[in-house]
């Protein structure tokens, strides 16, 4: 709701900014998301709804809360939607760029469903081994987005030892800053 309200403010100001809101698949069963989409569609607000579908709404599988693809729900509000492989960094970036461009040029809201998988527990009190098949976890581990980008960059000859060292050093510096601050 906040992102839609902010997007309506952007629209009233005549700016070309876009509000983007990120939420999980479980949130799509909550009233707030649906109410936000009603307003966004009604006023053609420049907002991107980005749903990370990790297959689990806490400990319930997504198939219990939606018998259709979550992206298809948006069309009921009159909002165009995209469904992408959430573990494909380039697909996510492309879908987001399409949605941002559409919103910036008066096309209104877009809904993106990025299909991924929650590898760990939902909270510190959660034990996903109670409701999740270990084989499923193993299958999704093979689709790790970082490893996929790394493999692509290596195939294209772009991930040199120098680049790897630079990324490592930068990550260490950021981690130090976070820990100290």
**Active-site amino acid positions:** 118, 122, 131
Output the CA–CA distances (angstroms, integers) from residue 92 to 23, 34, 86, 143, in the order listed: 15, 23, 6, 14
Cα–Cα dist 153/131, whole Å: 36
Q: Which residues contact 140 (CB under 8 A, 6 or more apart)?
A: 87, 117, 119
CB 115, CB 84: distance < 8 Å: yes
Residues 40, 44, 46, 49, CA torsion sign: positive
19 Rama class: left (phi>0) / alpha (psi -120 to 50) / beta: beta
């Amino acid at each position: 709701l906040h992102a839609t309200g902010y997007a309506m403010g952007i629209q009233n100001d005549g700016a070309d900014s876009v509000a983007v809101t990120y939420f999980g698949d479980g949130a799509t069963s909550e009233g707030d998301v649906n109410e936000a989409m009603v307003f966004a569609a009604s006023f053609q607000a420049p907002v991107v709804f980005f749903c990370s579908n990790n297959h689990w709404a806490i400990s319930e599988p997504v198939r219990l809360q939606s018998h259709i693809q979550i992206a298809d729900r948006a069309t009921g509000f009159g909002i165009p939607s995209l469904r992408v492989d959430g573990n494909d960094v380039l697909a996510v970036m492309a879908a987001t760029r399409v949605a941002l461009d559409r919103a910036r040029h008066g096309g209104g809201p877009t809904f993106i469903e990025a299909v991924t998988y929650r590898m760990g527990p939902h909270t510190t009190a959660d034990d996903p081994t109670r409701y999740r098949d270990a084989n499923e976890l193993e299958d999704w581990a093979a689709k790790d987005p970082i490893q996929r980008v790394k493999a692509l960059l290596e195939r294209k000859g772009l991930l040199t030892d120098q680049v790897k060292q630079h990324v490592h050093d930068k990550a260490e510096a950021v981690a130090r800053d976070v820990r100290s601050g």
